[in-house]
Structure 1
Amino acid sequence: MMHANTTVDIAVTATDLIRAGLLEIGNGCRIHPSAVFIPVDMLGTLRPIVLGARVVVGAFAVVHGGARVGADAHLGHRAIVGEPEYGYAMRQVYQGVGDATTIGAGAVVRAGATIYAGVRVGDDTTIGHHTLLRTNVVVGSGSQLAANLTVERGTRIGDGVRCSPGSHLTADTRVADRVFLGAGVRTVNDKQLIWRDPDHEQPLDPPVFEYGCKVGSGAVLLAGITVGARALVGAGSVVTQNVPADAVVYGVPARQHGQVKP
C-alpha cells in the first residue's frame, strides 16, 4: 500500500523533455538509450539541459538540470553531471538545489566520474574514471585529472594542470596553471581538526600551489601551506612550512635541499 505522502517519479522520455523545452540536443550527438536526463532538482526547480553538437553520452550516464555540455565533449558510461548537493558537508546543510554546470567543448568525462552542480570544466580537459568533483569546483582548459581523485568544494584548478591518480584536494584549494601533482597527494585545510562544532570552528586555510610547481607522489601538505612557483616537492614528503619559489624540498618534515635548475 502506498502512503499518501509518497511520491513516485514518472518516466519521461528525451522526446518529452525536448517538447517541453528542457532538453536541447545539437547536431550529430550520440546518446545511449539508457542515458537519463533529470531536469528537476530536489526542491522542484526545473533547469534546461543543453548538449552541443556531436556530444557523446554513454550508457547509464545521468545528466541533471542546468548542465550545459560543449561541442564534441564525451560523457562516459555511468558518468554523472550536475548532481545537486544534499545533506551535511563542509559546515553547512545542502538542500539538493541544482545549479548551472558547464562541461567545455572537447572535454572528456570518463566512465564513473561524478560532477556536482555548479562545477565548471574547461575546454579539452579530461576528468578520469571515478573522479569526484564536488560543488562549485572550477577546472581550467587543457588539464588532465586522472582516475580516483577527490576534489572538494570550491577548489580552483588552472589551465594545463596534471593530477595523477588517487589524490585528494581539500575544499577551497588553489592550483595555478601548469602545476603537476603526483599520485596519492594529500592536502589539509583545517589546523584545528574540528568537525561539526560551529562554536569552535576556525576559517578554512587550504594549501596553494603556485604556477608550475611539482609535487611528488605520496606527499602530504598541511593547512595554510603555499608551494611557490616552479618549486619541487619530493615524493613522500610532509610539508609543514611554505616552500619558496624554485626551491627543492623533501623529507619528513620537508626541508630545502637546493634550487630547481633553469
Structure 2
Amino acid sequence: MSPASPARIAPSADVSPEASIGDGSSIWHLAQVREHAELGPGCIVGRGAYIGEGVRMGRNCKVQNYALIYEPARLGDGVFVGPAVTFTNDHFPRAVNPDGSLKSASDWEPVGVTVQDGASIGARAVCVAPVKIGAWATVAAGAVVTKDVPAHALVAGVPARRIGWVGRAGEPLLPVEGDGEAPGSGAGTRMWRCPATGALYEETIASNSHENTIREVTH
C-alpha cells in the first residue's frame, strides 16, 4: 500500500495551525479553516470557503467555492456542499444585546447543522441550524432548509419541502410498477428503483403527520 499523500494548502489560504487537516486533502486559494476544525482525509475546500472553529468533516467531503460552514457544524463522510451554501449557527441572531452593547461569544449559544454521510447540498442553499440532513439526501440549489430532511429525500423550495427520493447515485428514484418487482412490500409501503444502480428502496407511508421514510433493500 502506498503511503498517504500530505494535505495541499494553497499559499493564500488561511489555515489555523490548530486545525487538523487529513492526508490527501486540498485547501484552495483564499479559503479559511479556523482553530480546532477537523477535516478527514481526502477532503476538498474550494476557493474562498469558510470552515468555522471546531467544525468536523468526515473523509472525502467536498466544500465548493465560497461556502460558509459555521461552527459547530458536523459533516459525515462523502458530503457535498455546493458553491455559496450557508450553514447558520444562531437561533436568534442579533449584533447587540437588548441594552445596545455589542454581543460577545458569551452572549449567545451556537447551534450547528448536521449533515450525514453521502448527502448533497446544492448551490446557494441555506440550512438554518439546528437542522439535520439525512444520509444520501439532496437539497436543491437555492433551497432554504428549516426542518430536518429524511435520508434519501430530495427537497427544494423556500421553505424546503420533499419533492421526491434519491438513491446513492444522486438520481431521482422511479416508482416500481406491479407487486412482482416489489419483494417485501405490503400495506403502507411503496417500492422505488434507482435508474443508475438498479437498487431497490422501500418507502414506509407514515400515518397522521409523521414523515414518510425510505430504506435501501437491495444493492
Give TM-score scaled by structure 2 length.
Answer: 0.69
- Alignment partner of 1:184 out of 84, 95, 100: 84
Give the Cα separation in 2 of the matches to 1:199 and 1:164. Answer: 28
Q: Residue 199 of structure 1: CA displacement?
A: 11
Instruction: Encode CA deviations 1:103-131: one digit per residue, 9 max, x unaligned.
Output: x8421101300111310001000001111
Name the amino acid aligned to 1:152.
G
Does the CA contact (< 8 Å) of 2:86 and 2:127 recur in 1?
yes
The match for 2:131 among 220, 225, 228 is 225
Aligned to 2:45, which of 145, 150, 157?
A: 145
Paired residues for 1:2-151 under 5 Å: 105-151=5-51
Distance 1:113 1:251 in 2: 33
> Following TM superposition, where does structure 1 have runs of at least 4 consecutive aligned residues deviating by more than 3 angstroms?
194-202
Structure 2: distance between partners of 1:122 and 1:246: 27
- Number of the residue aligned with 1:205: 111
**How much does 1:200 deviate?**
8.5
**In the alignment, what sits opposite 1:165?**
65
Q: Indicate conservation of the 8 Å contact 1:194/1:200, yes or no.
A: no
Percentage of identical aligned residues: 29
Give ranges in structure 1 of 5+ residues lacking alignment. Answer: 1-71, 73-103
Distance 2:5 2:27 in 1: 13
Q: Is the 2:87–2:113 Cα contact (8 Å) retained in structure 1?
A: yes
CA change 1:200–1:192 in 2 (3 A) is farther
Aligned length: 160
Counterparts of 1:109 and 1:145, CA distance in 2:
10
- 2:71–2:111 Cα contact (<8 Å) kept: no
Indicate the residue corresponding to 2:188 in structure 1: none
Structure 1's 257 and 118: CA in aligned 2 closer, same or farther, altered over 3 A? same
Q: CA RMSD in A?
A: 1.9
Deviation of 1:158 (Å): 0.8
What residue is the counterpart of 2:179 in the other structure? none
Q: CA deviation at 1:202?
A: 4.1
In 2: Cα distance, 1:212 partner to 1:117 partner: 28
Partner of 1:259: 165
| 1:249 CA displacement | 0.1
- Check whether the contact 1:194–1:201 (CA below 8 A) recurs between aligned residues: no
Counterpart for residue 185 of structure 2: none
Look up the SS of the partner of 1:249 in the other structure. Answer: strand
Aligned to 1:239: 145
**Where does the alignment leave 5 or more consecutive residues of structure 2 unmatched?**
96-101, 167-172, 174-193, 195-219
* TM-score, structure 1 normalization: 0.58
Partner SS state of residue 217, structure 1: coil
